[in-house]
Structure 1
Amino acid sequence: MQKQESLEYFYLYEPDTKEKYGLRYAIPEDADRISELYIQEYGSNYVNPIIYDQHELEGHIADEDNIWIIGENLQKEELIATSLMELKENYAFSSKTIIRKSYRGKGLGSRFGFRSVKELHDSGVLDNRIKIDSDVRGVQVTAQKLSENSRGIPYGFIPFYNNFGDKRDLNSDYYNPYPTQDEESAYLYFSPLPRLSKNRSNEVYLLDNELIIFFYDYMKHIKRMTKNIMKRDTVYYTKFKQTPEYLEKEDISVSIDLYGSRVKLLGVTDYKVVEFLMDKFKNYRMLIWHIPATLKGVKSMQQVLDNGFIVCGYNLGGFKPRYSDVLVDSVIFVKYLHEKSKNSLKENISCTEMNEPILKHVLKQLS
């Protein structure tokens, strides 16, 4: 997709109030106004401090893999909304749409969100991707409803996922992330795109364990869309001792989030490698491992449950093997690298009706 460098609006809206609104792609010159809107929403505590550095934010907006969209009141020439879609290897990640406080309660958030995603679909930028991913704050039930009204489907809940706090004057390096400040839980959402169903493997291997099976069953029945995606599945509920000693080659990727103080693993590897990584990144808050629903993955599922991980979600087509175009489901496990318990959750976690089973299932593992 070619980044737009003009002020052309792709959507205009005139409600009964006779005000006129427009949506367009942001340009680097919008950085200061976008930053101001984030400050209104988060103060100095947003998870990524890039939002407070105008020069860095300008570069982020100019990057073709970061699609910033803004909404404006055209009469007042006022920026009233912003959203971000980050293009990853085979999916897109959608950040929260922020609406200026004085414009809330008018239905603009859901309208702008829908029109922004429609524009990206029409532009073709999502054609080669399997889904739109997002995470939604556990304390904001309104944001959860907005995601669900925009065809978002919850697939996980991770306690203490976010690490808010003022990071502007803090230093970090590869092994020493930003310190723990204001932790907050999050729900994981996704919106399937056509390539997910087309490329996803219907052979699913799961450890025969109720904590894991719960999430598979939840995903299959939560929405008609996921039921259709999973209706041809052949599921093998496997005992750990039934897995061969040597199966797939190791296929693992490691990513770190300095701001969130999280380490993420995606794929299969020997558990000794994971122990090495947990020691290497011991100053981080948590390790999140997406384990593929394969025979090799079953062995890893048992090992992580034996070593204090909890099951937090089920990601349809969440793993793409290195030498294959077939997408494999993954089960999401979390290990807190410092002591955590249900009693540590100081926030007032909210949930929609759709999220309630996930919330209860995860929290009971912390008790």
Structure 2
Amino acid sequence: MSRKIRVAVIGAGIGKAHVTSYAEVPDLFEVRAVCDLNPERAQEGAALAPGAKAVTSFEEVCADPQIDLVDICLPPQLHARMTLAALEAGKHVVCEKPLAGSIADVQKMKAVAARTGKRVFPVFQYRYGGGYRAVHELKARGLLGRPYTLSLETHWQRGADYYLERWRGTWAGEMGGAIVSHACHAHNLVTHLAGNICDVTAFLDTRVNPIETEDCAAIIMRTAEGALVTSSVTLGSAGSSSRFRACFEHVTATSGVHPYRIGEGPWTFEATDPARQAEIDVVIASVEEPPARFLGLFTDIHAALNGKEPLYLPAMEEGEHSIELITAIYASAREGKVMHLPLASDHPLHDGWLP
């Protein structure tokens, strides 16, 4: 019989969406606490999960032996510090993106997790949806063939209201701009489907808002499987949309454009050889749609912590590669060079990319 995982959610901003998802599966998770420095926000978050208490002390959470898993939904500059503290307290950790602000900090997390026997789960929820599940299944069955090109659009609208949270748009608080806070999810879909990034060149600019960090980007990448990738990013679009299009040898897959639900539907799958379209359609029709977004991620985490096989749980190594890619993108933009991954251990930005 599976063991119920007892959770504390730290941060009642995006953390509220996490709380709601845990509460949807009460047979898998019990939200014991929602922690926020703002007591009212903590109460609002706790009210979303029956039996959860509102607390304002992270130390109280770490000291509670009845909590198995700490879910960190705080501003990015706190991610590494809080993750390390929770691991040292004997907790498993879920950490929102970005996992850390440097390659060095991720390596510290890995070392402490290994020493304590606890796990860190990076948040990459976009893979949990029927559309992405179908393309992944086609790859697993060898029906996609070689990846040719993938094109990503992260075209969102972010104005003054978004930056009312004072840490947003700052190097000290958000630890970066659109490539850190928005495009990382689409980039993770690429690496999960077509291999880690080996080469990247990037142009970054601040063109939309009066902020410190970038809000526009044009990025070109090559993956370990040879795919050529373009990533177009702006926070100055008319409305918000995300799009993922992958041209493989045998199939071209195109996502819908919902900004938060790119992994769901509707996706289209077109066979390069029309004679094989029926074969492709049969596979797509047979794929069971997973629980979407956070619910799918948390369901996989529960499986992993109970010794069961998850669907495709994001690994710590994916979180590490995401941070290394962000580092390489900033290095490329600043130096005007193609960057090759993995980066050397003595790379100038190994300990952080902040200017």
The normalised TM-score by structure 1 is: 0.27
Greater Rg over alpha carbons, structure: 1
Task: State the structure with bigger RCO (CA 8 A, min sep 6), 1 or 2.
Answer: 2
The normalised TM-score by structure 2 is: 0.28
